[in-house]
Amino acid sequence: MTDMPSITQIDIWSLDVAITAPFKVAIGEIDHTANILVRIHSSDGLYGLGEGAPTSFITGETQATALEAARDLARLLIGKNPLAIDQRVSEMDAYLTGNSATKCAFDVALYDLLGKRAGLPLYALLGGTQREIHTDNSVGIADPETMARQALEIKASDFHAVKVKLGTTRAGDVSRIRAIREAVGDDMLIRIDANQGWDRPTAVLTLQELFPFGIQYCEEPVAHWNNEALRQVRQESPIPITADESMCDHHDAFRLASMGASDYFNIKLAKSGGLHKALKINAIAESAGMKCMVGCMFETRLGLSAAAHLMSARPNIAFANLDAAFFLSEDPVTGGLTYEGSRMTVPDTPGHGADIRPDFLEKSEHFSVSNIP
């Protein structure tokens, strides 16, 4: 029997990239990325990389808390078998509740390492194949004219779908969608995301008024904790409903599917804790006859690459919002996911295929946990 490898060292960096302009949603505003990068080294000479995107108003983490939690998780995993991912994820969950973006960085690094050990790209490691996958591109909250202009620019860049951030007032949001639909015409898909910005009555009335504009689906219309209101909105809405902030892990997925609270699930690796639970979410959705989408926070192309591999491997994931890279002022990633308009292509190299430039990491906060005396 071949000896199993062990984790010999874990490197952790802050991963900061400026964005081109502040991006506003109903529950907050992003003006820069403040992520973490985890590199797990194995005794067989391989390493895996994973990115976590803590977002205080969604995952409850900041970069500072994520870095400290990552130090503890690294001490927990050092010396253990990196290929036993189920055990490693269970240990992290037993040790530390929540902290999903931090755990995501470790989870993705473990899967990247497993793919390299197997000599398989991540989509193949997950039992899937290369398939044609596309993403939409997003427009943050602004005045109707600005949002319409941005949506038209997205269409001109060969995108077939635009994701529009809403969640303000009924009149304001309707005027935004009216302006966008007039600008892009009838042949472009419009997806909307209220980011919990409405109460139940406002959500129902707004969605009924938006229905004539041909909206494909609406994400998270009401507060993430109010699952019953989400179910009621779904019953009364003529537009399909997607659960986002209310659906973080597989337990949430089971509860919402059982309630009939949404039509679709939005899987984000930073919310779910990584690929291990994302796969469980998709399995629950598929069992309930529901499709999924895969979304993102503000990851670099490294984190986006892992999400795109997941989508390629699972045909039940029908929609994607993997557009964060378009908002970053710098691309520190080598290899990985590439874009041609809306079309995404994942590499055939082992693992997720992405890495971070050494010169970029030299400027970042860094520490290591090692089992070497």
Measured CA to CA in angstroms, residue 65 lies from 234, 276, 291, 332 at distances of 36, 22, 33, 23
Contact 158, 137 (CB under 8 A): no
Model pLDDT, residue 371 = 78
Comparing CA positions, the residue from 367, 370, 337, 369 lying closest to residue 14 is 367
pLDDT for 12-64, tens place per residue? Answer: 999 999 999 999 998 888 888 999 999 999 999 999 999 999 999 999 999 99
Rounded to whole angstroms, what are the CA distances from 249 to 51, 245, 326? 18, 10, 27
- What's the token pair of residue 234? 């779904």
Between β-strands 333-335 and 338-340, what pairing exists: parallel, antiparallel or unpaired?
unpaired
> How many whole angstroms separate alpha carbon 46 and alpha carbon 235?
50
What is the pLDDT averaged over residues 215-229? 98
Quick: pLDDT tens for 179-207: 999 999 999 999 999 999 999 999 999 99
* Interatomic CA distance for residues 224 and 247, integer angstroms: 8
Exposure class string for 48-71: b at 16+ Cβ within 10 A, else e? bbbbbbbbeebbebebebbbebbb
Asked whether the predicted pLDDT for residue 345 surpasses 90, the reply is yes
Q: Is residue 325 pLDDT above 80, yes or no?
A: yes
Burial of 220 (0-12, 13-18, 19+ CB in 10 A): buried
Give the pLDDT score at 30. Answer: 87
Give the pLDDT of residue 108. 98
**pLDDT value at position 372?**
63
% pLDDT > 70, the chain: 99
Kindly indicate the confidence band of residue 65, based on its pLDDT and cuts at 50, 70 and 90. Answer: very high
The backbone torsions φ and ψ at residue 66, rounded to the nearest 5 degrees and listed phi first, read: -65, -40
Position 354 scores a pLDDT of 98
- Measured in residues, the chain has a length of 373
Give the DSSP letter string of 136-187: -EEE-S--HHHHHHHHHHHHHTT-SEEEEE--S-HHHHHHHHHHHHHHH-TT
Q: How confident is the model at residue 140 (pLDDT cuts 50, 70, 90)?
A: very high
Indicate the CATH number for domain 125-355.
3.20.20.120
Start and end residues for every CATH 3.30.390.10 domain found in the chain: 7-118+357-370
Q: Mind giving me the DSSP string for 247-272?
A: --SHHHHHHHHHHT--SEEEE-HHHH
CA atoms of 242 and 240, how far apart (whole Å): 7
Mind telling me the catalytic residues? 165, 193, 219, 244, 268
What is the C-alpha to C-alpha distance for residues 195 and 210, in angstroms, rounded to an integer?
Answer: 16
pLDDT at res. 373: 53
- This prediction's pTM: 0.96
Measured distance CA(48)–CA(347) in Å, rounded: 16
Q: Tell me, what's the pLDDT at 1?
A: 38
| Inter-residue contact 44 to 112 (CB < 8 Å) | no
pLDDT higher than threshold 60 for residue 165: yes
Mean pLDDT of the chain: 96
Q: Rounded to the nearest 10 degrees, how much is the dihedral formed by the CA atoms of 65, 69, 70, 74? A: 160
Segments of the chain assigned to CATH 3.20.20.120: 125-355
Written as one letter, the residue type at 10 is: I
pLDDT band for 2, please (50, 70, 90 cuts): low
The architecture that CATH gives domain 7-118+357-370 is 2-Layer Sandwich (3.30)
Comparing C-alpha atoms, which of 10, 14, 20, 4 is closest to residue 325? 20
Q: What is the pLDDT of residue 45?
A: 96
